[in-house]
Amino acid sequence: MAVIAFAILAVLLFLLTGNKSLFSKEVTIYTYLDDSAAITEGAAVRLNGIQVGSIAKVGLSGENKPNRIIRLDLLINSANLKQIPEDSQAAIGAENLLGTKYINIKMGKAEKPIAAGGELKSLDTREFQDLVNAAYPSLLSLQ
């Protein structure tokens, strides 16, 4: 009886604290960036603003080519994968000025969806970081 009670408690804690469904299947797709902009594992992945997954891993790709230095492994709910066209583009977005970051996938126009294990092209986000850096002195002067 105690084992069953602990199992139920564990399932309830998992469901209350996680964003994932207990039985949902997830697939991994990849994108490469020039700079991680301090994005972390577990951050949200959104498709035109709607959450469809999370970031499983952020790491160096081992490549030196522009826009391929950082590799992100994106865990996408398999039910949402067919809604992501293969010509979609991933970019880092910020929820607020303090820097809570996420990946936003801009939906493409292709009819064919991206395959599991596929690669999304990424938008160059250096301009966004330059804008944040330029605004920093203004924010300090407001203090």
Residues paired with 59 in a beta bridge:
71
Q: Of 31, 33, 70, 26, whose CA–CA distance to 52 is shortest?
A: 26
pTM of the model: 0.70
Per the rule left: phi > 0, alpha: psi between -120 and 50, beta: everything else, 30 is: beta
pLDDT tens-digit map of 7-49: 998 888 776 765 555 566 889 999 998 888 888 888 889 999 8
Please tell me the predicted confidence (pLDDT) of residue 129.
Answer: 61
Residues paired with 32 in a beta bridge:
71
pLDDT tens-digit map of 49-97: 888 989 999 988 888 887 888 899 999 988 888 899 999 999 888 877 6
pLDDT tens-digit map of 94-129: 877 676 889 999 998 989 999 888 899 888 665 556
Q: Cα–Cα–Cα angle for 54, 28, 30, nearest 5°? A: 90
> C-alpha distances in angstroms, 45 versus 54, 103, 134?
5, 5, 27
Q: Of 118, 113, 38, whose CA–CA distance to 73 is shortest?
A: 118
What residue type is 125 in one-letter code? T
Torsion, Cα 124 128 130 132, to 10 degrees, reads -160
